[in-house]
Amino acid sequence: MPAWSFLVSAIPIVLTVSIFLPYYVTETVVYLIAGLVVCSRELRERVFDNPWASWLVLPMLIPFYVAAFYHNYNGIREMALLLAAVICAMYLRSIMTRELFGRLLHIACLCSIACAGVAVGQKVLMWSDNPFFRPESMFFNANYYGTMAVFMVLVGTYQILNHARFRWVYLVTVFANLLGLYLCGSMSSLATMIISVMAMLLMFRRKKLVIIGAFLVLAGGILVMLVPELYPRLGDVEDTFGSRVTIWSTALKGIMETPLFGRGPKAYPLAYAQFGGYDTYHCHNLLLDTLLNFGIVGTGLLSGFVICQARQLYLRYKNYICREQCILIAAVSLAVLVHGITDVTVFWIQTGMFFLLLFSASGIQPAWRTIPRRLTVPRVLSMPAPFLR
């Protein structure tokens, strides 16, 4: 069926483009793809052929009941979207190849350049009314755009180091997203970008580029100290950190109230309503937000899955299986962890889905080498899951 084959092959491209459009477009595409996977026997069997995928869905059902128990209706909605995003990610992982991954990164680079243009336009239009306006481009707020800019600087750098063709496109990508990062004024994103790019260059053993990068960072820091007007938000560091401390205090009270299972996604507004503090969307700390949302039980299950995936990634790298992609995934994961100290921007459909798209490269299977036996999962997780087939 040519039409069906075309539809299936277009899914990754449509998903990638949708990430750089307004969030409700991304949500719609994610739900449609997840529904297509669940309704199609062929796609469903492909996705859930992986034993990890078959059993990953089960623990994700618990937060639905927890959120419903606490009347956390936003949490129920977010959990449904998270489940759909995970199904999309598992589908991408099941079909990912080097060629497809490279094509998706190229499309993402072009889309990010367009987003940077939108950010510049927003800044120009708002300059007369508010010179300190922070553009969010096609994303929900400036911090989410800052996270996507960090991801795209990493992707652009990765493409420059590994692909000679279209190198000028990737140079423009890096420059455009550095400009977007500057315009959005996200201090945590800027620090995250510096740390993660340096780490990726070290992993690629580009020591000269690390030295050049360190010199540029030092020179930029000195310039900003001499001319603070170049980065006005530095003057807000004390107030920003003070608000973070207030948020963390409220989050800790909420965690102590429901330590085992949390209150479901988007639990911080519930904690704020009960204990007061600073009114915002989440805990501005990845660990605290995970504990508040999913409790010790959910955090433990999630941590176990993350550790297993990290071990698999390490073994792939050690056995020379897609080492370049392993380095990119490691750098992006480091960016999430570093940024997670002061923000939780990865828990958003655009940023989170793009992270999962990048992580799907861990499913690439080279024809010349098979995955080592040590990568097999425990027997209990290798059992079939007929309810998902």
Instruction: Give Cα 16 distance to the centre of its chain.
Output: 13
Q: Give the largest CA-CA distance in the chain.
A: 65
Structure tokens at 112: 């990010």
- In order along its 389 residues, the chain shows pLDDT tens digits of 555 566 667 899 999 999 999 999 999 999 999 999 988 888 888 887 766 666 676 677 888 889 988 889 999 999 999 999 999 999 999 889 999 999 999 999 999 999 999 999 999 998 888 888 899 999 989 999 999 999 999 999 999 999 878 899 999 999 999 999 999 988 899 999 999 999 999 999 999 999 999 999 999 989 988 888 788 777 777 777 888 899 999 999 999 999 999 999 999 999 988 888 888 888 999 999 999 999 999 999 889 889 988 998 999 999 888 999 999 999 999 999 999 998 899 999 999 999 999 999 998 887 655 544 444 444 443 444 433 44
Contacts of 356 (CB under 8 A, 6+ apart): 85, 86, 88, 89, 92
User: What is the per-residue DSSP string for 266-324?
Assistant: S-HHHHHHHH-----SS-SSHHHHHHHHHHHHHHHHHHHHHHHHHHHHHHHHHTTSSHH
Per-residue model confidence (pLDDT) at position 230: 81
Per-residue model confidence (pLDDT) at position 128: 80
Per-residue model confidence (pLDDT) at position 9: 73
Q: Write down the pTM of the prediction.
A: 0.90
Contacts of 346 (CB under 8 A, 6+ apart): 147, 286, 336, 339, 340, 352, 355
Per-residue model confidence (pLDDT) at position 252: 93
For residue 327, give Cα distances in angstroms to 33, 78, 100, 168, 330: 28, 30, 18, 22, 5
